[in-house]
Amino acid sequence: MAEQGKQIQWFPGHMAKTRRLMRESLPLIDAVVELRDARIVRSSRNPEIEGLTRSKPRLILLNKSDVADPQVTARWRDFFTGKGLPALEADCRSGKGLRQLEPKLRELCAERLERNAARGMTGRPLRLMIVGIPNVGKSSLINRLAGQRRTKVEDRPGVTRGRQWVKLEGGMELLDMPGVLWPKFEDQKVGRHLAYTGAIRDEILDQEDLACSLLLLLAARYPAALSSRYRLESAELEGTDGYALLCLVAKRRGMLLPGGDADTLRAAITLLDEFRGGKIGRISLETPEEIRR
Ligand SMILES: Nc1nc2c(ncn2[C@@H]2O[C@H](COP(=O)(O)OP(=O)(O)OP(=O)(O)O)[C@@H](O)[C@H]2O)c(=O)[nH]1
């Protein structure tokens, strides 16, 4: 039933403008930091970023790693490293993992920094652009790195009016521009994965459909975590459809309608909320091995 749910569509209003801004800004920066959601590394990707930023070194920041499966995140890190792309796990809300960012970026830009030093440009800050799909944690990262001292540095001459630099920790500067690029819905699965994590506004989708398909996914991938959170027997997870699971969740939580039927809408909202908050466990919905297949 969830498989036949509503089509997920997106009407990106400012994509062309963002693309143009990014192209124009690239000559001004040393490196690109691309954020991905560690739980859905594939679906939180905008495939255009690679092409748009090809001329600059790029680092992948696997954000929200506090709510992702640590083993899977480590495999993603190795996957990117194997492709010559440095990757770091981080939790931009608490700041965990971010201490390694500056040294990693300096390593990545070593050649460029040496060239600058040879031209007498020593001590110049490392200039960055941060990009990622909506809700992936860009503002959280910037706020973490800029801390209380978040200040606009200056409007550099020759730079399009309105474009600003923000001073970050450790001699880094960030080009403050809307680096939001929408994800690409290669298929309905990508859309659903974005929806489970809250990257798509809830009004667009049927919450019960979404919860049913998430329950099936969790029953297949993280049965122990699911059973323990909603007091489900392991036998109850087998061969059950998503709606039956949702009814069980509602009943175990005492979410009943006046006539005694399961309040599946309430259960759906609760399930999605608890998944997004990491309350069911540290869960990743995509693995690098699936991409290789
Ligand atoms: N659990 C967890 N939540 C995070 C993390 N980073 C950000 N968030 C949460 O994710 C949500 C979106 O974070 P933002 O920093 O606003 O994301 P953004 O990419 O700037 O979003 P847009 O403004 O839509 O482009 C917020 O509720 C954050 O608190 C993280 O590392 N872990």
- pLDDT digit string (tens) for 158-205? 344 446 788 887 788 888 766 667 766 667 888 899 999 988 877 778
Q: Ligand 1: which atom is nearest the Cα of residue 91? A: 31
Question: pLDDT band at residue 21, thresholds of 50, 70 and 90?
Answer: confident
Which strands make up the sheet holding 164-168, listed edge to edge?
Answer: 87-89, 58-63, 31-37, 126-131, 172-176, 164-168
Of 65, 93, 143, 194, the one to substitute when testing ligand 1's pocket (max ligand atoms within 8 A of C-beta) is 93
Question: pLDDT band at residue 6, thresholds of 50, 70 and 90?
Answer: very low
User: Which residue's CA is the nearest one to ligand 1's atom 25?
Assistant: 134
pTM of structure = 0.89
Query: Rounded to the nearest 10 degrees, how much is the dihedral formed by the CA atoms of 43, 210, 94, 68?
Result: -60
| Predicted confidence (pLDDT) at residue 10 exceeds the cutoff of 60 | no
* Cα 236 from Cα 218, distance rounded (Å): 13
Of 45, 139, 144, the one to substitute when testing ligand 1's pocket (max ligand atoms within 8 A of C-beta) is 139
Instruction: Give the CA distances from residue 221 to residues 190, 209, 240, 261, 281, in Å, rounded to whole numbers and listed in that order.
Output: 17, 19, 14, 28, 12
What's the 230 CA to ligand 1 centre distance in angstroms? 27
**What is the token pair recorded at 200?**
């798509």
Residues within 6 Å of ligand 1 by CB: 63-64, 66-67, 91-93, 132, 134-140, 180
* Cα 271 from Cα 77, distance rounded (Å): 29
Q: Please write the tens of the pLDDT for every residue from 100-157.
A: 999 999 999 988 888 877 777 677 789 999 988 888 988 889 888 887 555 444 444 3
Mapped onto helix, strand or coil, the DSSP state of residue 251 is helix
What's the 285 CA to ligand 1 centre distance in angstroms? 18
Q: Ligand 1: which atom is nearest the Cα of residue 94? A: 31
Q: Which of 218, 279, 204, 287 is nearest to 248 (CA)?
A: 218
Q: Which of 21, 13, 31, 26 is nearest to 160 (CA)?
A: 21
What's the 64 CA to ligand 1 centre distance in angstroms? 8
Instruction: Give the CA distances from residue 248 to residues 242, 244, 261, 282, in Å, rounded to whole numbers and listed in that order.
Output: 10, 6, 11, 22
* Cα 120 from Cα 133, distance rounded (Å): 37
Of 40, 101, 140, 202, the one to substitute when testing ligand 1's pocket (max ligand atoms within 8 A of C-beta) is 140
Q: Are 88 and 101 in contact (CB under 8 A)?
A: yes
- Domains along the chain with CATH numbers: 2-176 (3.40.50.300), 206-292 (1.10.1580.10)
* Cα 228 from Cα 125, distance rounded (Å): 49
Q: Ligand 1: which atom is nearest the Cα of residue 63? A: 31
* Cα 74 from Cα 76, distance rounded (Å): 5
What's the 274 CA to ligand 1 centre distance in angstroms? 16
Q: Ligand 1: which atom is nearest the Cα of residue 278? A: 1
**Whole-number average pLDDT of the chain:** 85
